[in-house]
Amino acid sequence: MIRPHIHAIVASCIAIGVACGCGDDAGARTPPEPAGAESLDDCDDVVSRVREVLGALPSSCAADGDCTCYPGGIDGVTDCGGVSDLPTAARIGVFTQDFSRLRCDGSVSCAPRQCLAACVAGRCVERSMP
């Protein structure tokens, strides 16, 4: 009895995604493979590189699609994430994966959160949820 309801829910979610323009275009906001973001093998190097990348924020943009949310997890550095341009988010993503893979001290567990990246006045920012 539950199975038909699940199919209806899934179909509704797909219909909503397509109606909102979230279908095939959703991948457009996925950060590209980062250029020059080599994997690191030392915790101090990871933290240093992330601080360097974050120091260049806020990112410039021309449209909302130029911005996305980057992952967090490094206490006092990325905290629970933020907003940047797509290439910067991809680089931060590689470094936070290295941080986790290396089991570095100072990781922070973040609760799931919704992040809405937007381009406002030429800068990537996190838009408040309605």
Whether the full predicted model's pTM is greater than 0.85, yes or no, is no
Residue 59 CB neighbour total at 10 angstroms = 22
Looking at the fold, whether 25 and 36 belong to one and the same domain comes out as no
Q: Which of 52, 50, 53 is nearest to 74 (CA)?
A: 50
Q: What is the span of the domain harbouring residue 2?
A: 1-30
Looking at the fold, whether 50 and 68 belong to one and the same domain comes out as yes
Q: How far apart are CA 51 and CA 38, in angstroms?
A: 15
Task: List pLDDT tens digits, range 28-74.
Answer: 344 444 444 566 778 999 999 999 999 999 999 999 999 999 999 89
Looking at the fold, whether 51 and 80 belong to one and the same domain comes out as yes
Looking at the fold, whether 24 and 66 belong to one and the same domain comes out as no
Mean pLDDT of 86-105: 93
Q: Provide the percentage of residues in the chain whose pLDDT is more than 70.
A: 69
Looking at the fold, whether 87 and 98 belong to one and the same domain comes out as yes
Looking at the fold, whether 103 and 119 belong to one and the same domain comes out as yes
